[in-house]
Amino acid sequence: MVTGASRGIGRAIAVACAEAGADIALAARSTDALHDAEQEVRKLGRQTVLTCGDLADSGTAVRLVDEAAAGLGGLDILIHNASVFPADDTGTSYLVPFAESGSAEWDPLLAVNIGATVDLCRAAHPYLAASPKAAVVLVSSVAGLIATPAMEAYAVTKAAQLSLMRSLSVGWARQGIRVNALCPGWVRTDMTSPMQQHAPLSDWLMSHVPQGRWLTPTEVAAAALFLAAPAASSVTGHALVCDGGVSVPDGGLAGIPKPASPFAA
Ligand SMILES: NC(=O)c1ccc[n+]([C@@H]2O[C@H](COP(=O)([O-])OP(=O)(O)OC[C@H]3O[C@@H](n4cnc5c(N)ncnc54)[C@H](OP(=O)(O)O)[C@@H]3O)[C@@H](O)[C@H]2O)c1
């Protein structure tokens, strides 16, 4: 099961898993976008189940998991990728200094990024416990590992996912369920579209990426596939960072010229 499978990183993960031979339950809010993703997966010869709902609503996570397991005849792997970033009414992401942030920024992120993560993991547990090759991959973020001014609400929820991942990895280890997380850096998706399009901000962000470029959903999906696959059979409790070097200590300082920070007072 892949949540947030309609676009961006989640869609690339669904395609990577299908290429590796998985039948997939694809979850998101938008049915139309999910149908597009479904076509892509079916072209690879895999079975699909579509399951739609808003993870901000209580009860949705349990329904989505049950529908996925019923449609697939069980559940081996949960890749929980859907998350939200502070966004305006048009869905456009924005950064906001902590002191100016409020419930509009925090509440939806706490509900979806933390609340639904908890609910999905709990709902998936009985299915995963019955599988001989069970794995959970939580798509967190490098923001959960490092300081990210003006993104505090997002970073807090991503750090919470890492905390849950570590506890579940130990708690569920003897049940044969591996639990890991992925920590991408800046990836070219709808979530980061406003940052990509604002040239001074994009230049500043990329100046802190040793690889000096936006990552693609496909290269991040390859890392998620590794964590989900039997190739990672000894890996549990791990946060796999795929960030172009952002989080390497001092990696961003190695002779790369820096524009002035947009956050300078
Ligand atoms: N892009 C980056 O630079 C970056 C960096 C680090 C980590 N990440 C993480 O990677 C994951 C995917 O990010 P992305 O950039 O691919 O995001 P995205 O382009 O915004 O796509 C988000 C996906 O989640 C679904 N979704 C959003 N809100 C939902 C809700 N309330 N209920 C159910 N589904 C929902 C969306 O479909 P619908 O709108 O149809 O529901 C879509 O399929 C997230 O966990 C994000 O935090 C991203």
Domain ranges of the chain: 2-242
Check if the beta carbon of residue 232 is closer than 8 Å to that of residue 178.
Answer: yes
- For a ligand 1 pocket test, name from 11, 60, 65, 81 the mutation site with the most ligand atoms within 8 angstroms of its C-beta: 81
Beta strand pairing call for 77-80 and 48-52: unpaired
What's the mean pLDDT when you consider all of the chain?
95
List of residues 6+ apart from 249 with CB closer than 8 A:
none
- 138 contacts 91 by C-beta, under 8 angstroms: no
Q: Is the CB of 31 under 6 A from ligand 1?
A: no
Mean pLDDT of 56-79: 98
Instruction: Return the structure tokens found at 121.
Output: 């993991």
- How many residues does this entry show for the chain? 265
Own/partner long-range contacts of 170-174 (Cβ < 8 Å, ≥24 apart): 170/237, 172/125, 172/128, 172/129, 173/236
Whose CA is closest to atom 18 on ligand 1? 191
pLDDT at 192: 97
Q: How far is the CA of 43 from the centre of ligand 1 (A)?
A: 23
Asked if 180 and 231 count as a contact pair (C-beta separation under 8 A), the reply is no
CB 48 within 8 A of CB 23: yes
pLDDT digits (tens, 9 = 90+) for 71-124: 999 999 999 999 999 999 999 999 999 999 999 999 999 999 999 999 999 999
Residue 261 banded pLDDT, cuts 50, 70, 90: confident
For residues 210-225, average pLDDT: 97
Please tell me the CATH superfamily of domain 2-242, with its number.
NAD(P)-binding Rossmann-like Domain (3.40.50.720)
What is the whole-number distance in angstroms between the Cα of residue 12 and the centre of ligand 1? 12
d(CA 52, CA 116): 14
pLDDT higher than 70, residue 265: no
- With a cut of 90, say whether residue 253 has pLDDT above it: no
- Active site residue ranges: 154
